[in-house]
Structure 1
Amino acid sequence: MRAFVFPGQGSQKVGIGAELADASKAARDVFAEVDDALSQKLFDIMREGPEDQLTLTENAQPAIMANAIATLRVLETDFGVALADSAGAVAGHSLGEYTALCAAGAFDLATTARLLKLRGQAMQAAVPVGKGAMAALLGADIDKATALAEAAAEDEVCEIANDNDPSQVVLSGHKGAIERAVGLAKEHGIKRGVLLPVSAPFHCSLMQPAADRMAEALAGTPPSDFAVPLFANVTASKVTDPHEERQLLVEQVTGRVRWRESVVAMRADGIESFVELGGKVLGPMIGRIDKEAATSSLINMDQLEDFAREIA
C-alpha cells in the first residue's frame, strides 16, 4: 500500500509549475482555475517571479498547492493513474494537508486556493513583523528540542513547531526566545540551530488570531467526504470524518506538525511506499524516519510517466 504526500511552505521557487504547464493542458487548466479563484495572476508569479512576491506567505501557500494538484491532475489525466485506485492514504506537511484534502476530494480546487490564500494572510497578520521567529535545530531529536525550548523561553513563547524527522526539529515563537534557543543549542547536545528566513512564527500559540480566522472560514466551507483516509498533522493519526478534520485544520494553525510521528503511524498502518507530488522535500525526511520505506518524488513529466509505467 502507498501514500501520496504533499509538501509544505519552502518548496516554492521561481519557475515552479512551468515545465508541467508547457507539457500538459491538465496542468494549465489547474493554474488557470486557481488564478480565477483568487482573481490574481498567480501563475505568472510562479513562472516568472519576482521571487519576493512568490515567497510571500499568501502567495506561496496557494502556489505550492496548485503545483502539487497540477502534478496529480497530469498523473490522472495524461497517464491514467487515479489517486483513489493507487493510494491507501494521503498526508501533507502543514499547508500540504489542504493539498492532500483537495487531492482526496474533500475540497474543490477553487475552495482550496481561497482557503490557503486566507490562511497565508491570517498567519502573516497574526504577529507583527519582527516580533516572531523560527529556527531549525539540526541534529536534534524531540527530547533535546523540548528541553532547549523550555530553557530558552524565559516567559516568552518558544515551542516546537515541526517534528520533521529524527534529526530535525523546528522551533517557533517570540524572536528573543528563538534567538536564545539558537545560542543555547550546543549546550543541549544539538549540532546547530539555524534561524529560518520566515515572515512569521508559524505553528505556535502566537498564531491564535489566525486560527480564529480559519475557524470562521472553515465553518462556512467545511471539508466533504474524502476518498481515502488522511493522516492529520496535529494528531499523527488517521482521519476519515470530515467534521473531525475541520477542527483539526483549525488546531493545525497553532499546533505542532507531527510529521515524524505521522510517517511512523502510516508505516504501522501498512503503508510501504510514499509518493511525494510536486516537491522533493518530504521524501528525504521519510527516508531518515524509516530507512525501509520506499520513497519517490514526482515533479516532471518523465518522472510521472515512469511512475505510471511502474505501477501499471
Structure 2
Amino acid sequence: MTIAFTFPGQGSQTVGMGKGLADAFPEAKAVFEEVDEALGQKLSEVMWDGPEEVLTLTANAQPALMAVSLATMRVLEAKGLDLKSAVAYVAGHSLGEYSALAAAGSLDVATTARLLRVRGDAMQNAVPVGAGAMAALLGLDFDVAAEVAQEAAQGEVCQAANDNAPGQVVVSGHLAAVERAVEIAKAKGARRAVMLPVSAPFHCALMAPAADAMSKALANADIKSPAVPLVANVLAAPITDPGEIRSKLVEQVTGTVRWRESVSWLAGNGVDTFVEVGTGKVLTGMVRRIHKEATGLVVNTPEDIDALMEKIVG
C-alpha cells in the first residue's frame, strides 16, 4: 500500500466542521486555538456555530479548512502516525496545498493561517464583486474546455481554472466571457454547463493583484523542505525545494489547478491509496473518477482516524 494524503479546497466547508475532533482530542483543540490566536479572531466559533454565510467568506473558509485538516493530522500523529514513513506524497486542491505543506512540516500552523487570511482577502478583493465569474463545464475533456475558454474570451479573460477530473473542468474570468463559454460549451456537446455560486473568479489572470500580494507575503514566510514531496497544483509533479514551493504558490493564484494530472502522476508513480484529510469527500470522488482502481479514504471523524490507523499500523 502506497499512500498519498490529499487536502480539500474551498467549497468543502460546513458549519460544525472540526467540532467533534476538538471535543474528543486535546491535540485538535490546540490547533483551533492556535489558528484563532494567529488570526486574532474566534474563527473556531464561526466554524462551529456559523452563520454559514460568514464561514463561506473566502477569508474565513480558507484558514478554517486548513485548521480542520491540521487538527486531524495532529490527532493522527498523537496516535502514532509518522508521516515520512507512512506517506509517500502530499497534495492539496488550491488552498489545500497550504494544508498539505503544513501537514508535511514545511509551514507552521500559525504562519499557514495568516498566509491563507492574506490569500483569501487578496483573492476576494482582486476583482469587483459581479465583474468575474466561474462555470463548470461537464462532459468536455480539458483540451476542448480550454478551446471553449479561448473562443469565449473575445478580448476579455476566460481560462480553464480547475482541471478536476475527466469531463469536469471549471472556467474562470470576466462575467460576460464566462457566460459565453457556457453557451459555446453547450454547442460543443457539454453534458451540462452551469455558472457557479462563487464570490470571485479564482485561478485566472484577473487574480494577478492577489498573486502580487502572495508574492510579498510568501517572501517573508519561513518555508522548510516538506517531510515528503508535495505534488504541486501548477506542475502536477513533486517539489521539495523551499524556493520552488514559494514560487509555485504564487503561480497557483492565477494558474490552473491541475488536479486530474496530479492524481494521474501519483497513480503512475505507485500510489494506490488516497487519503482525504479534513472536511468532506470532494477529492475522494474526483480521485475515483480519475483512477478507478485507487482506494479512496476520507478522514474527518474520530472513527475515521481509528480506521486509518488500523490500516496503516495494524
Distance 1:195 1:243 in 2: 36
User: What residue number does 2:301 align with?
Assistant: 300
User: 1:76 is matched by which residue type in structure 2?
Assistant: E
Q: CA deviation at 1:24?
A: 1.0
Q: CA deviation at 1:81?
A: 1.5
- What does the per-residue CA deviation read over 1:122-169, in whole Å, with 9 as the maximum and x for residues that have no partner? 001100100000011111210220121122111111100000000200
Q: How does 1:86-165 map to 2 (within 5 A)?
A: 86-165=86-165
Distance 1:184 1:244 in 2: 37
Q: CA deviation at 1:183?
A: 2.1
Give SS of 1:105's match: coil
User: What residue number does 1:229 align with?
Assistant: 229
Asked if structure 2 preserves the Cα contact closer than 8 Å seen for 1:144 and 1:190, the reply is no
Asked if structure 2 preserves the Cα contact closer than 8 Å seen for 1:30 and 1:66, the reply is yes
Distance 1:236 1:215 in 2: 21
- What does the per-residue CA deviation read over 1:96-139, in whole Å, with 9 as the maximum and x for residues that have no partner? 00000000001000000000000000001100100000011111
Q: CA deviation at 1:222?
A: 4.2
Give SS of 2:228's match: coil
Distance 1:225 1:290 in 2: 29
Distance 2:75 2:288 in 1: 26
User: What residue number does 1:4 align with?
Assistant: 5
Give SS of 1:234's match: coil
Distance 2:40 2:207 in 1: 26
Distance 2:67 2:294 in 1: 27
User: 2:231 is matched by which residue type in structure 1?
Assistant: F
User: What residue number does 2:289 align with?
Assistant: 288
The runs of 4+ residues in structure 1 deviating greater than 3 Å are none
User: What residue number does 1:261 align with?
Assistant: 261
User: What residue number does 2:274 align with?
Assistant: 274
User: 2:270 is matched by which residue type in structure 1?
Assistant: G
Using the size of structure 1 for normalisation, the TM-score is: 0.98
- What does the per-residue CA deviation read over 1:235-281, in whole Å, with 9 as the maximum and x for residues that have no partner? 10110111111000000000000000001111122212111001311
Q: CA deviation at 1:209?
A: 0.4
Q: CA deviation at 1:184?
A: 2.3
Q: CA deviation at 1:193?
A: 1.0
User: What residue number does 1:206 align with?
Assistant: 206
Distance 2:253 2:297 in 1: 28
Structure 1: state its 5+ residue gaps: none
Q: CA deviation at 1:76?
A: 1.3
User: What residue number does 1:215 align with?
Assistant: 215
User: What residue number does 1:61 align with?
Assistant: 62
Distance 1:183 1:284 in 2: 27
Aligned-residue Cα RMSD (Å) equals 0.9
Distance 1:249 1:101 in 2: 11
- What does the per-residue CA deviation read over 1:29-76, in whole Å, with 9 as the maximum and x for residues that have no partner? 000000000000000000000111000000000000001111111111
How many pairs does the alignment contain?
A: 311
Distance 2:141 2:257 in 1: 14
Give SS of 1:185's match: helix
Give SS of 2:170's match: strand
User: 1:27 is matched by which residue type in structure 2?
Assistant: A
Identity %: 59
Distance 1:31 1:82 in 2: 22
User: 1:179 is matched by which residue type in structure 2?
Assistant: E
Distance 2:28 2:190 in 1: 43
Distance 2:251 2:105 in 1: 21
Distance 1:294 1:117 in 2: 33
Distance 1:204 1:145 in 2: 14
Q: CA deviation at 1:182?
A: 1.4
- What does the per-residue CA deviation read over 1:190-222, in whole Å, with 9 as the maximum and x for residues that have no partner? 111111111110000000000001001111114
Asked if structure 2 preserves the Cα contact closer than 8 Å seen for 1:94 and 1:252, the reply is yes
User: 2:177 is matched by which residue type in structure 1?
Assistant: A
Distance 2:89 2:311 in 1: 19
Structure 2: state its 5+ residue gaps: none
User: 1:106 is matched by which residue type in structure 2?
Assistant: S
Distance 2:65 2:55 in 1: 10
Distance 1:307 1:214 in 2: 35
User: What residue number does 2:181 align with?
Assistant: 181
Give SS of 2:134's match: strand
Asked if structure 2 preserves the Cα contact closer than 8 Å seen for 1:222 and 1:246, the reply is no
